[in-house]
Amino acid sequence: MDELELLKTMVSMYSPTNDEGQLAEYLVQTMNENGFRSHVDEVGNAVGIMGDGPEEILLVGHMDTVPGEIPVRVEDGLLHGRGSVDAKGPLATMICAASGLENTAGKRITVIGVVDEEGDSRGARNLLDKYNPRCIIIGEPSGWDSVAIGYKGCLRLRYIIEEVNRHTGTPDPNSAEMGVEFWNGLNDYCSAQFGDSAFNSLTPRLVSFNTENDGLRTRVEMQIDVRVPPAANIEEVKASIEQLGSGDLHWASEEAPIVSSKNSFLTRAFVSAIREEEGSPTYKKKLGTSDMNVLGNHWDVPIVAYGPGDSKLDHTPDERLSLEDYSTSIRVLRSVLSSLIERVE
């Protein structure tokens, strides 16, 4: 398999959420040509299976990206393009690493490029009643010499308030001011909770703030994300937020946080493989969420996220991936998979 050609082609296929079909078909064809048994499942995930043993190793990356096309180019050893880091680079790493294995020795390695990770994780949720993995690797940028063992949870909500229109000279607060008051109260509540480190804090983010005025009524709608640390009880957090002020709250979605063990056979395999490449392995806990939250909170098995790339470049107009790190990550992951295949229960 031409590792660079695979990555360049994947990144060149613009695939924002809900438009992953072309990429899925390409991945299925490519995996079929490289020893996988592959298909597109009922929700559009690209599935490739290597081996037919009873113990399954599940590798899950995502095909979709946030919107915004970035011209694809290779310059100074860097591949620029939307999705190069988040997360086509990690998914390409999985495909290349699995395709280079000489045998599976009674194991089954399943690589899945899922849809909708940047949305509601429809692709990952479709896996929950179809697989029984022994361990899971999530394709997300961790850096070639690190593994991610934790992600914060997330509450997504809409705040809506609508009031009769008032003259601007009146002392009563208008809808916009009441919305700001709610936002300020939410900030004060969150800042008083849990720890003061980024991973252990309750962190609100104002995604959008929209006002409407038809001359009779004024309306405010805010989209808000609240990142939830492992120490928080999500139901208690929701109940506290609902008491913060007037207006209607609509909970759009919630995802529980997750922290996996540093001492599982899976993390130990990564530590060993990274050291083989003369790296100094580290563990990371991420401030966002990923499909690791969905799958890791469903299956009680070892799980980590791994892949090349600097996650600070996620969703940015300067998204770019080191091709050297990409190649090294393939070797690391292939070594991990080889050790998992050889492992005897």
Marked catalytic residue, from 3, 86, 117, 221: 117
Q: Tell me which amino acid residue 218 is.
A: T
64 is catalytic: yes
- Cα–chain-centroid distance for residue 220? 30
CA atoms within 13 A on the CB side of 5: 4
Residues composing the chain: 345
Q: Tell me which amino acid residue 255 is.
A: E
Q: Phi first, then psi: what are they for 240, rounded to 5°? A: -70, -40
Asked whether 94 and 139 are in contact (CB, 8 A), the reply is yes
- CA–CA gap between residue 13 and residue 82 (Å, rounded): 9
Could you tell me which of 299, 291, 329, 336 has the C-alpha nearest to residue 113? Answer: 291
- The torsion region of residue 190 among left (phi > 0), alpha (psi -120 to 50) and beta comes to alpha
- Cα–chain-centroid distance for residue 143? 14
Regarding beta strands 248-255 and 153-164, do their DSSP bridges make them parallel or antiparallel, or are they unpaired? antiparallel
117 is catalytic: yes
- CA–CA gap between residue 344 and residue 135 (Å, rounded): 14
Marked catalytic residue, from 3, 55, 56, 64: 64
Q: Which two tokens stand for residue 289?
A: 């969420």
Question: Helices 265-276 and 323-342: crossing angle, nearest 10°?
Answer: 130
The residues assigned a catalytic role are: 64, 117
